[in-house]
Amino acid sequence: MAKKEVKEQNVAPGRPPRPSAVSVQPVDTDVNGSPIRPPGISPVASGTRSARKKKKQAIEEKQTSTQETATPSKTETATKAVQSSTPRRAANTAKKTTTASSTPTPLKRSARKTRSSSATKQEEKKAIQEEEAEDAAKESRLTSELQNEQQETSVSDPLQKDPSTAATPKKKTKTTATVPKTPKTKTTTEKKTKQKTKQPQPPQQKKQVESNPPVSNKKQDKVKHSSKKKRKASRDLSDEESSSAPITSTPQVDVTVHRMRFLAYQPKPIICLAPTPSPMGSTTVADYIALSRDNGTVELQSVDEKFRTVATVAGLSSRPVNVMAWICGGCGDSTSNTTKPSSSNNNKASYYSSYHKSHTHHHGCRTLVGASNDGTIFVIDFAHGRQTSVIGSGGGAVLSLVSLCSTGACGCCRITTNDSGGGDKNQSNNNKCMQLIAAGCEDGSVRIYRLVTATTEGNEDEKRLELVSTIACAGSAILSLAWRRLSGTSSTGMKGTVLFAGVADGTIRRYDCVASPLPSSSMAMSTNTILDGGDGDIAMGDTSATNCSWKSNLRMTVECLGRNAPTRVWTLQALADGTVVSGDSLGHVQFWDGHTGTLQQSFDQNDNKADVLAVVVGGGHDENRVFASGIDSRVVCIERSTNTNNSKWIMTHAQRPHTHDVKALAICRSRDVTGTMSPPTANQQQQQQVPQEREILCTGGVDTKLCTYRVKDFRKVRPKILYPWPDVSPIAVATKARIVALRREDRIDLYQLGPRSTSTSVDAAPVLLPEDKTLVGTLEIKGGHNFTCSDINQDGSLLAISDAVGLLLFRLSYEENSQDGTKTVTPEQINLPTDIRWPCMAVKFASNNRLVCATASDDSIHLVGITNDSDGEEKGTKVHVEHTFHLGESESNRDALLFPIHTLQVSNDGEWLAAVRNGLAKGATQIFAIPSEGGTCQHWWDVPALEAPHTSVAFVANGTSASPQLAVCCTNFAFYIFDVQQKSLNPWSEQSGFPITPKLPMEMTSRNDYPVRIGCNKATPGKFLFGSFGAFCAVDLDKPLPRQCRSFPERHVRTKRRKRSKSMSEQPEGSETNGDHVDNCIICLRYNSMLYMDFIEDNEMLVVEQPWLSVVASFPEALERKIYGT
């Protein structure tokens, strides 16, 4: 077969070439007559619109003449074969037969030209006869294939419609015939049909084609256009069939949705990040990271749980935490007061694995210290949700805070791997953690504090900060600090450490802590000195004590480029080899020799000379990567060259996921990226392997987002963006009064929903209200402290609010405007007894007159009764305590360090209460019986630990069981349904098995977020919704789980498209993915940035969203950057 030339032509990239009407070059063909082209070369075509129009007219004329001269016998035979088939297959077959028999071949370019010689006319006639013979042969082959296919297809196929009710393909009509629901057979039959149409020709027909003489160039041109016609006709037919086919599947959720997007919930900027100190030598203890926001709130997030918020301190709006630092507290010491797990048989499931015991031990004794610009230093107590041990710095605003534990310089955390158990083994050593912290103050002094534990009058241990030493004033404010022990020093405690200070006068100063004999006359602490005993304790007047004094050795001056104002050194980092990294107000990232004070290298973080606000060191123990960012949101990576002869720093890559200033950078470690905090697999335990840790870079700033990057793959992997939506919804709904309460920092906004439609029709539209008329009123309380929790009862008459000071209760009365239907609210505060004014972390109305309060001060749950006495002498609302549950008495709470309760859920009948709390590597969900009349309140059951920490729980309706059902969701999207009365899994979860993660669809387990919302429709018991901030999933408990989830909308921009080895139709007929079970798992992506998602009435759902663009509009203006080409 001769090779033909392919004429190339300039075509715009990404666009298919346009069809030509001027010249078409022939190409090679295969045995079937189809054109063969080299890979990567598309068909060559060119021409104008008029030429294509002429070509179309010529094809139509040729088609008419060909249809008139077609062989009647062959057409009748094909038509009979089509009529004997089923209607749907008949329509498809008739379309193919008509296309094959009547598709014209394009007129020859030579036939359009006038030829005078008779020889030329004879050649044309002969060529046309050969083409007609070839078309006839193809028709006969196609007819035989259709007959064979008809014989193989079963006549009793339940998917085939009755021929009398079949419609022609071109005529779209509504079919009223009942089609049996057998999607398993449908999928298999359709797949078989597709496979048969794509099968190659039988060997006999293949030989027949190969025996034919080579097709001329003109025939190749005809065959090519004919095949295009056939493909187009088949596509048109399939589209008509799909449009006319009835939809047999019913929607999974068919409800009315109230969508509120105008509440203007504004998250606050991130101003500081502080990761927990990593134990030296540990590969199994993951990190936590604390982040502070501009409104005074401090959040603690778990790195191994997809950065889930496990604890929150609301704080004060007037006291934002500008700087934070962790103190390890001597977790390596065997005498630590960390609670050890109990060996009782009743608590076997307290921890997920042995790693969580070690995890709890090493993080349980850590303490977070914060400071503010108002000159206060305090302890951030996540266990009680408040700031404690607040003291004044004595030097004005605290602008920087650093501890020896942040770099492992305290030397108390040394861990070795236990080969027998695969976990971490705590080994005691002689080095105690001195629990020291250094604060850089506004007056130019550096003050060093020590964290001590004191016993209060109530025999409770309270942590306090004591001043240990003060470094003399440097003349200007201390903007940044770096404190560590350099390599080569083997001293213990503070001795041998080096402190670098960035001063506002444009200098970097080095202070060394040196030891000298203590004079016998020295009995008190003085400036630049500290009394440090050999065991790390301060010994006043002890002859064995040594005098540790601070000595200033170096002063490095930062260039100012001729400016009058000195350059500000906003951030400092010190490496183990003595290298000092600084970021200043000129946009420079500079590397200094900490021993000699000379500048080694300098890099420009941006071209606008914008301030560099944060620098962090990564790369593990090698410390070979430095990251920097600031007012210009560009995050740059500077790596150390691997060349041992010339070890220089090189700026390698940059990312820009933030839109505004980046104020904080931090490096933390992740051991489990799935969020399950699961133990090693069986193979890893046999090979004595542990999961590899992964360094994570975290950045935060004005745009309120937390972005995470892989340190090792910073150049290859894009960062993940974590939006600042709260895990615990700030919204409470009064379903009967149709009032929505939104909690902000210092006020509660009340909104009303439109009344429910009185029409009995299912498709009746809800009554809508204009946005400007939905606000009912605002309840503002000026107390200084941010609100921690709030709730409103069902009829909207009572509102409960709590902060770090105490509980507040209000009675609400409404007045409705008869003209426009709007409401106005009048609040009235209810006086509470002194013993009821607890600071609560969670409140929930069990009914209209019963309030459940979870307190952190005494770790208890109080059931409060509210009555309205209008007949007695003392008229008014009376509040009394019905029952108190002391959670500290529970076995599960004694064996782990748990944070305060953050969620309370009450069953629909108000008889059961579920309390959820987070912990270090562990959570707890407890069930309480709270009967309203004639019963005894008691602690009923502790939900056992599952394969991953709990994130959300809710009582769901179950039409087949009278016992309440509790749905529990985990960080890896695993969910379980528990029978509360039986204290076990319900039949559906037992049938699904434990753990359920291997059976979950990949669309759920591969998500980067975690479920935080659960909703249940009372009208459809057995179905419930659970989801995260950007999506929710609908699950039917009457059906098994499928292997794949269906997204809605299917072509959404956030739909993840993955290639699979097998499609659903290729699964075995007994597989769960066949049939209607595929509709059991539907992921809805229509809503995003959801603050609330739940059902307020039967078949009525409320979704509250906060559009991200409206949040961005509230930010201040970002740095104006020069963009190329503008």
The partner residues of 967 in beta bridges, in order of sequence, read: 954, 977
Percent of the chain with pLDDT over 70: 62
What's residue 606's pLDDT? 92
What's residue 53's pLDDT? 61
What's residue 518's pLDDT? 54
Position 349 confidence tier, pLDDT thresholds 50, 70, 90: very low
C-alpha 842/C-alpha 861 separation (Å) is 9
C-alpha 50/C-alpha 20 separation (Å) is 11
Decide if pLDDT at 465 tops 50: yes
Residue with tokens 């797949």: 191
Of the ranges 18-27, 83-92, 165-174, 1084-1093, which is most confident? 1084-1093
User: What residue type is assigned to position 1051 of the chain?
Assistant: R
Question: How is residue 646 annotated by DSSP?
Answer: S
How does strand 706-710 pair with strand 288-293?
A: unpaired
Position 368 confidence tier, pLDDT thresholds 50, 70, 90: very high
Q: What is the pLDDT of residues 670-689, one digit of tens each?
A: 876 555 555 455 554 444 44
231 vs 480: which has the higher pLDDT? 480
Of the ranges 128-132, 755-759, 928-932, which is most confident? 928-932
Decide if pLDDT at 600 tops 80: yes
Decide if pLDDT at 39 tops 70: no
Position 350 confidence tier, pLDDT thresholds 50, 70, 90: very low
Mean of the pLDDT values across residues 632-653? 88
pTM of the model: 0.74
Helix 183-198 to helix 118-152 angle (10° resolution) is: 150
Q: What is the pLDDT of residues 159-203, one digit of tens each?
A: 333 433 334 344 333 333 333 333 333 333 343 334 444 444 444
C-alpha 789/C-alpha 802 separation (Å) is 6
What's residue 766's pLDDT? 67
Of the ranges 451-465, 480-494, 736-750, 862-876, which is most confident? 736-750
Out of 100-114, 857-871, 909-923, pick the least confident.
100-114
737 vs 168: which has the higher pLDDT? 737
DSSP letters for 361-410: HHHHT-EEEEE-TTSEEEEEETTTTEEEEEEE-SSSSEEEEEEGGGGTTT
What's residue 20's pLDDT? 38
Is the bond leading into 827 cis (omega within 30 degrees of zero)? no
What's residue 530's pLDDT? 62
Mean of the pLDDT values across residues 1099-1109? 93
User: What residue type is assigned to position 667 of the chain?
Assistant: I
Position 16 confidence tier, pLDDT thresholds 50, 70, 90: very low
What's residue 783's pLDDT? 84
Of the ranges 141-155, 534-548, 975-989, which is most confident? 975-989
What's residue 873's pLDDT? 56
User: What residue type is assigned to position 879 of the chain?
Assistant: V
Position 205 confidence tier, pLDDT thresholds 50, 70, 90: very low
797 vs 1126: which has the higher pLDDT? 797
Residues of 148-167 as b/e, b for ≥16 C-beta within 10 angstroms?
A: ebbeebeeeeebbbeeeebb
Computed over every residue of the chain, the mean pLDDT equals: 74
Q: What is the pLDDT of residues 318-336, one digit of tens each?
A: 999 999 999 887 654 433 3
Mean of the pLDDT values across residues 545-558? 82
Contacts (Cβ under 8 Å, ≥6 apart) of 1052: 1085, 1086
Contacts (Cβ under 8 Å, ≥6 apart) of 404: 410, 434, 436, 483, 484, 485, 494, 497
What's residue 43's pLDDT? 41
Position 95 confidence tier, pLDDT thresholds 50, 70, 90: very low
Residue (of 1012, 1071, 1072) closest to 1041 by Cα position: 1072
What's residue 1014's pLDDT? 93
Our separate counts of H helices and E strands in the chain read 14, 61
The neighbour count for residue 848, using CB atoms within 10 Å, is 16
800 vs 165: which has the higher pLDDT? 800
Out of 140-154, 228-242, 714-728, pick the least confident.
228-242
Phi, psi of 614, rounded to the nearest 5 degrees: -145, 140
Decide if pLDDT at 119 tops 90: no
Q: What is the pLDDT of residues 57-88, one digit of tens each?
A: 666 665 555 544 444 443 343 334 334 333 44
DSSP letters for 65-115: HHHHTS-HHHHHHHHHHHHTS-HHHHHHHHHHHHHHHHPPPPPPHHHHS--
Answer for the pair 564, 460: CB distance below 8 angstroms, yes or no.
no
Hey, is 11 helix, strand or coil? coil
Decide if pLDDT at 802 tops 90: yes
Question: How is residue 773 annotated by DSSP?
Answer: G
* End-to-end CA gap in the chain: 57
C-alpha 987/C-alpha 523 separation (Å) is 74
Position 271 confidence tier, pLDDT thresholds 50, 70, 90: very high
Q: What is the pLDDT of residues 740-787, one digit of tens each?
A: 999 999 999 999 998 877 665 556 666 778 888 899 999 999 888 999
